[in-house]
């Protein structure tokens, strides 16, 4: 792996590695998604897997399947995982679920890392997987928390956007190279509607049911008794086919929803946050 080449992304990859090279031990705030996994793999490549720790934030907003997958990807890379238990759900500002919810979540994670993990694992630096596309989006308040906690963002600093990160991940043969984005479960609850463990559990169960039916990329938006399902555009005709529709309705109702709808617009990243951010700018 030491002799891999990255084509047009070679310079950016070398910049990422150079940014990490001066540290003896590095922690990577890690979710198992392609961005954080690619950063984790490059850190391991540069300073060695024994000097890198994957820091996985665990709370009710992390789906069990995502937690398991994160451990599997880190094992493939060869880096140990340290689970950091976070309690953002106890914070009234997080519960209120404003557009800054992600700030409170990331602030909790980075605070926990600062207070306990850095000392316990003798870390010289903590980095996270913000890419260059994320850095340009207005709906990423978690970035402010990273800045306040002096967390590094090597991918974004090197100009690696999402497409480039996926190219690098494929060369590294990461199992998550083409994994769809998997935002936390709280992102399925409309802003200013309280985030609760019960709602998060409903969303997790409904999405797990849909995945069992073969809908790998899905979101279940929580609108009280109504579940609004977002799917990849190519999957919408199958979900509404009479032969499958009953199964879709059954697994989502089993999660505790009374009504089930399929959103014809498909998956919409930032569906709840972007309109509020845009309105605040006007």
**What CATH number is associated with residue 21?**
3.40.50.620
CATH number of the domain that 206 lies in? 3.30.70
Q: How confident is the model at residue 116 (pLDDT cuts 50, 70, 90)?
A: confident
Residue 201 and residue 163 share a domain: no
Which string of b and e fits 18-33 if b means at least 16 CB within 10 Å? ebbeebebbbbbbbbb
Pair 65, 133 in one domain: yes
16 and 150 co-located in one domain: yes
Average pLDDT over residues 34-56: 98
For the packed helices 34-47 and 10-21, what is the interaxial angle rounded to 10 degrees? 60
Q: Report yes or no: 168 and 17 within 8 Å, Cβ to Cβ.
A: no
User: Domain limits at 205?
Assistant: 185-274
Residues 102, 189: one domain? no
Instruction: Place 3 in a pLDDT band, splitting at 50, 70 and 90.
Output: confident
Listed residues 119, 139, 171: the one ending a domain: 171
Same domain assignment for residues 45 and 126: yes
- Per cent of the chain over pLDDT 90 is 87
Whether 11 maps to a domain, the answer reads yes
Number of domains in the chain: 2
Whether 155 is covered by a domain: the verdict is yes
Q: Tell me if 279 is assigned to some domain.
A: no
- Whether 176 is in a domain gets the answer no
Domain membership of residue 280 (yes or no) is no
Residue 2 lies in a domain: no
Residues 125 and 206 in one domain: no
Q: Say yes or no to pLDDT of 156 above 90.
A: yes
What single string gives the DSSP state of each residue in the chain? -TT---GGGHHHHHHHHHHHHT-SSEEEEE-SSHHHHHHHHHHHHHH-GGGEEEEEEESTTS-HHHHHHHHHHHHHHT--EEEEE--GGG-HHHHHT-TTHHHHHHHHHHHHIIIIIHHHTT-SEEEE---HHHHH-TT-THHHHHHHTT-B-HHHHTT--HHHHHHHHHHTT-TTTTPPP---GGGGSPTTS---HHHHHHHHHHHHHHHHTT--SEEEEEETTEEEEEE-GGGHHHHTSHHHHHHHHHHHHHTT-SEEEE-TT---TTTTHHHHHHHHH-
Q: Are residues 247 and 113 in the same domain?
A: no
| Model confidence pLDDT, tens digit, residues 172-219 | 999 999 998 888 999 999 999 999 999 999 999 999 999 999 999 999
For residues 105-142, one letter each, b for 16 or more C-beta atoms within 10 angstroms of the residue's C-beta and e for the rest, the string is: bbbbbbebbeeebbeebebebbbbbbbbbbeeeebbbb
User: Could you tell me the pTM of the whole model?
Assistant: 0.90
Residue 278 has pLDDT above 70, yes or no: no
Q: Which of 142, 171, 200 is the last residue of a domain?
A: 171
Residue 177 lies in a domain: no
Q: Do 259 and 144 share a structural domain?
A: no
282: Cβ–Cβ under 8 A, 6 or more apart, which residues?
Answer: none
Q: Is residue 282 part of a domain?
A: no
Please check whether residues 124 and 203 belong to one and the same domain: no
Same domain for 160 and 238: no
Residues 254, 161 share a domain: no
Residue at a domain's end among 140, 171, 202 = 171
Same structural domain for residues 197 and 97? no
**pLDDT tens for each residue of 259-277:** 999 999 999 876 665 555 4
């Amino acid at each position: 792996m030491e002799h891999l080449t990255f084509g047009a992304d070679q310079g950016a990859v070398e910049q990422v590695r150079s940014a990490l090279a001066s540290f003896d031990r590095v922690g990577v705030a890690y979710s198992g998604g392609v961005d954080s996994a690619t950063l984790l793999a490059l850190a391991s490549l540069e300073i060695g897997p024994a000097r890198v720790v994957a820091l996985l934030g665990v709370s009710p907003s992390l789906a069990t399947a995502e937690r398991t997958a994160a451990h599997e990807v880190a094992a493939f890379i060869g880096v140990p995982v340290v689970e950091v238990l976070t309690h953002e759900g106890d914070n009234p500002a997080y519960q209120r679920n404003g557009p800054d919810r992600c700030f409170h979540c990331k602030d909790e994670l980075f605070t926990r890392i600062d207070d306990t993990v850095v000392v316990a694992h003798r870390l010289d630096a903590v980095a996270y997987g913000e890419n260059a596309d994320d850095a340009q989006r207005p709906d990423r308040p978690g970035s402010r928390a990273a800045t306040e906690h002096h967390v590094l963002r090597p991918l974004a600093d090197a100009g690696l956007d999402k497409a480039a990160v996926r190219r690098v991940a494929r060369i590294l043969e990461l199992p998550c190279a083409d994994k769809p984005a998997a935002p936390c479960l709280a992102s399925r609850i409309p802003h200013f509607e309280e985030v609760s463990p019960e709602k998060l559990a409903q969303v997790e169960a409904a999405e797990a049911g849909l995945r069992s039916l073969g809908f790998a990329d899905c979101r279940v938006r929580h609108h009280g008794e109504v579940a609004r399902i977002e799917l990849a555009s190519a999957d919408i005709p199958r979900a509404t086919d009479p032969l499958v529709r009953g199964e879709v309705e059954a697994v989502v109702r089993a999660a505790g929803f009374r009504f089930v709808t399929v959103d014809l617009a498909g998956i919409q990243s930032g569906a709840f946050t972007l309109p509020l951010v845009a309105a605040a700018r006007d």
